[in-house]
Structure 1
Amino acid sequence: MTDTEVITLPTGRPTPFDPPAELGELRESRPITPLAYPDGHVGWLVTSHPLAREVLADRRFSARSELRHLPTESGGQAGRPAPPGMFVSTDPPVHTRYRHLLTGEFTVRRMRQLGERIEDVTRSHLDAMERQGPPADLVKTFTAPIPAVVICELLGVPEQDRGRFMERSTTLMRTDVPQEEKIAAYLAMQAHMKELVLAKRAAPTDDLLSGLTRSDLTDEELANIGFMLLGAGLDTTANMLALGTFALLRHPDQLAVLRERPERVDQVVEELLRYLSVVPFLVRTALEDVELGGERVRAGETVTISLAAANRDPARFPDPDRLDVLRASGGHVGFGHGVHQCLGQQLARVEMRAGFPALFERFPSLRLAVDPGQVPLRTDMLIYGVHALPVTWDAP
């Protein structure tokens, strides 16, 4: 380990949309720096775009949960092997087996086929907002329900069960909830998912879980896969839709581009993914000694990759702190990189491509209903975003 000062992970945000300023300072002066973890481990923090991609693509860095240390309190389980089916916390060849079974369910073509249904769901929630009239909390009425309906339909979760799944998923994502409460929510959610798997085996329907019952996966594996996909599908896209709307409302020149050139929605989505980075970091652990950015990372040391800092690297994205929906944002690490790159990224893109243009077309006068400083930020959550987004518009 180097003699350089050991830091803790910076968390204070100067604005709702910008990562901690210290991350940018580190990226310029020392893009790999010693990092102290809450459990006493000393590992590393990576803040540059090239080093982030290097770590995430290098098989010498492991995603296995029993090897990792977490840079925040209550960040989830560490020090234990991943339960069967929790493939995001495994390495090849275990990861490869699960990923292969699921890849066919999340192809670009399959997600585009879902586009019409996603547009229907989006339209129905906009209809409900319009009937209710202003003001409204956009999180409750629009950004949270749409991904929830889509992922639950994709998995085959009955409508009457969705509320409980959403509530328990939120508990697991909070960083200020006692570990005992998280464990209780996890066990309840897992038990419920096992019941659903057994129901799918007995009476398959046209959904992802039913399709997977025809594989060699056990009930435990299926339940954990369903649990993991449900949590990921609920939280990340919901917060991209909400925080993305907040960002566009605070950058009217960029919103004008979306309004005037809706055919550029793909670029808008990619730039928001880069600019906002709702998944702020990922962690990997060295399986052997590795030279990285001029430092020797020893076997067993955990590396925290700041996706937020990497996506603001001026060496990759000129003027990175400016939201520019017409920039070429390709190569961002908003969905990670390498073999663990987000499996559901195409689904998230389809939901955002449907959601943003439809929202602003339906409500051209949409605006915040409170002072921007009163919007409650999810600084207490593993996935960043807003707890609520009060908006209003000119009703006819």
Structure 2
Amino acid sequence: MFEEINVVRGLEIHRRDRFDPGAQLRTLMAEGPLSILGIEDSPEGRTAWLATGYDVVRQVLSSDKFSSKLIYGGTAAGFAWPGFLTHYDPPDHTRLRRMVTSAFTIRRMQGFQPQVEQIVTAVLDDIEDIGGPLDFVPHFGWAVATTTTCDFLGIARDDQADLSRSLIASRSERTDKKRNAAGNKYMTYMHKAVSRTRQDPGDDLFGVVVQEHGDAITDAELAGVAAFIMGAGGDQVARFLAAGALLMVDNPEQFALLREKPDAVPDWLDELSRYLTTDEKIHPRIALEDMRIGDCHIKAGDTVTCSLLGANRAEFPGPADQFDITRERPAHVAFGHGIHHCLGRPLAEMVFRVAIPALARRFPTLRLAEPDRRLKFGPPPFALEALLLDW
């Protein structure tokens, strides 16, 4: 009952008012940096907390006094899906992350950038050829995000559309049966890709990890890592790009500055990341021992959910909580913090740095095709269901 209630309440808390925190999250932010979501109806009385303060979120995410393993059956025993790094604790997390990190070096990112530029140019060419009005969620967000992520992983172009459909269906189908079927198809492909790579490793993520670490990483772990990165890249990057396009429509004068005088706004991506925070929360952390955080007593077994959106907006209270592309390098936790800080951040930021200015240059008159029609946002995480734009 405790977990069911808080799943429902959590969805409401993380609903947004367009780009901004919704009323419930604003209320909890005003109560202080750490709030109680609920207390389990059991002898142990496990408490669920929500952290919204910037310093508290960083403290929780960087502390070894919390576990990242998933919670099942009303206990804090925990579980980790093979290869899904956010579900691991040290030393397993340390071992697995170290083996995958080499695929995200600065040298490899620099080498991959021309390919990202080609992908973005091709996507914008397609948009221009089709003409407006056009839905920018699939034609810009998903088109750029899935192609760049799949290419980075080493997934053949002929397989990418079908794999992307499986990923989307695994999260959006209305019945458990259909979602599970899509998820199984998605993971089956990843295992087949691992088998192919074992026989003939290339210069993609699969190949780099296999060549450098061989049997030190299992097939299940490598398939899980790839599925995890594809899920984050295909989903979170797509959501960010679509939201960025909408933000461009809302703030044409700021993006004109990015288009015409890019050197004048060197930290624009930090502000965009802070303000959008499209991945607004992460799964709860489990307290491994009793502790105090500020005035709050956290007991072993309690859970703390960190609101990345709350933390990023808490740093700029009141009227200062506005999108300002000229803001000097704002501190933010849009990519998390601590040992689980987003592994794919270098790739995601490179895609953003290429795609957003390119969109601003190519379509300087971008506008809502139906300005009087209310935009639809999906349930948390923050995602536009459709974004019909014209130019």
TM-score normalised over the length of structure 2: 0.89
- Does residue 24 in structure 1 map to residue 18 in structure 2? no
Partner of residue 46, structure 1: 51
Tell me which of 182, 202, 209 is aligned to 2:199. Answer: 202
Alpha-carbon deviations, 1:298-335, whole Å to 9, x = none?
Answer: 11111111111111014x67744210111134320100
Task: Note closer, same or farther for the CA distance 1:213–1:68 as it changes in structure 2 (3 Å cut).
Answer: farther
1:285-364 matched pairs, under 5 angstroms = 285-314=286-315, 319-364=319-364
Q: What is the Cα deviation at residue 260 of structure 1?
A: 2.8
Q: What is the SS of the residue equivalent to 1:327?
A: coil
Alpha-carbon deviations, 1:327-382, whole Å to 9, x = none?
Answer: 1343201000001000011111111111111112112211111226432212x2x4
Rounded to whole Å, the distance in 1 between the matches of 2:360 and 2:40 is: 43
Contact 1:143 1:242 in 2 (8 A): yes
Contact 2:272 2:325 in 1 (8 A): yes
Rounded to whole Å, the distance in 2 between the matches of 1:116 and 1:36 is: 49
Contact 1:85 1:222 in 2 (8 A): yes
Q: What is the SS of the residue equivalent to 1:354?
A: helix
Tell me which of 153, 167, 170 is aligned to 2:168. Answer: 170
Rounded to whole Å, the distance in 2 between the matches of 1:242 and 1:191 is: 29
Task: Note closer, same or farther for the CA distance 1:288–1:205 as it changes in structure 2 (3 Å cut).
Answer: same
Q: What is the Cα deviation at residue 14 of structure 1?
A: 6.0
- Does residue 219 in structure 1 map to residue 227 in structure 2? no
Task: Note closer, same or farther for the CA distance 1:310–1:266 as it changes in structure 2 (3 Å cut).
Answer: same
Structure 2 residue identity aligned to 1:59: D
- Does residue 150 in structure 1 map to residue 151 in structure 2? no
Q: What is the SS of the residue equivalent to 1:213?
A: helix
Q: What is the SS of the residue equivalent to 1:311?
A: helix
1:110-189 matched pairs, under 5 angstroms = 110-174=108-172, 177-189=174-186
Partner of residue 251, structure 2: 251
Q: What is the SS of the residue equivalent to 1:144?
A: helix
Q: What is the Cα deviation at residue 195 of structure 1?
A: 0.9
Rounded to whole Å, the distance in 2 between the matches of 1:373 and 1:126 is: 25
Partner of residue 74, structure 1: none
1:255-270 matched pairs, under 5 angstroms = 255-264=255-264, 266-270=266-270
Q: What is the Cα deviation at residue 12 of structure 1?
A: 6.8
1:346-385 matched pairs, under 5 angstroms = 346-371=346-371, 373-378=373-378, 380=379, 382-385=380-383
- Does residue 190 in structure 1 map to residue 187 in structure 2? yes
Alpha-carbon deviations, 1:252-290, whole Å to 9, x = none?
Answer: 332232223223565222111111111111221101112
Partner of residue 63, structure 1: 68
Q: Unpaired runs of 5+ in structure 1?
A: 1-5, 71-77
Q: What is the Cα deviation at residue 108 of structure 1?
A: 3.3
Q: What is the Cα deviation at residue 124 of structure 1?
A: 1.0
Q: What is the Cα deviation at residue 137 of structure 1?
A: 1.3
Contact 2:85 2:340 in 1 (8 A): no
Q: What is the Cα deviation at residue 54 of structure 1?
A: 0.8
Greater displacement, 295-304 / 257-266: 257-266
Greater displacement, 211-220 / 89-98: 211-220
Q: What is the Cα deviation at residue 203 of structure 1?
A: 2.3
Q: What's the RMSD between the two structures over aligned residues?
A: 2.6
Contact 1:68 1:285 in 2 (8 A): no
Number of corresponding residues: 377
Greater displacement, 89-98 / 186-195: 186-195
Task: Note closer, same or farther for the CA distance 1:135–1:321 as it changes in structure 2 (3 Å cut).
Answer: same
Structure 1 residue identity aligned to 2:22: P
Rounded to whole Å, the distance in 2 between the matches of 1:89 and 1:60 is: 15
Q: What is the Cα deviation at residue 27 of structure 1?
A: 2.1
Q: What is the SS of the residue equivalent to 2:306?
A: strand
Rounded to whole Å, the distance in 1 between the matches of 2:36 and 2:269 is: 34
Q: What is the SS of the residue equivalent to 2:9?
A: coil
Q: What is the Cα deviation at residue 186 of structure 1?
A: 2.3
Q: What is the Cα deviation at residue 79 of structure 1?
A: 6.9
Q: What is the SS of the residue equivalent to 1:371?
A: coil
Q: Unpaired runs of 5+ in structure 2?
A: 1-5
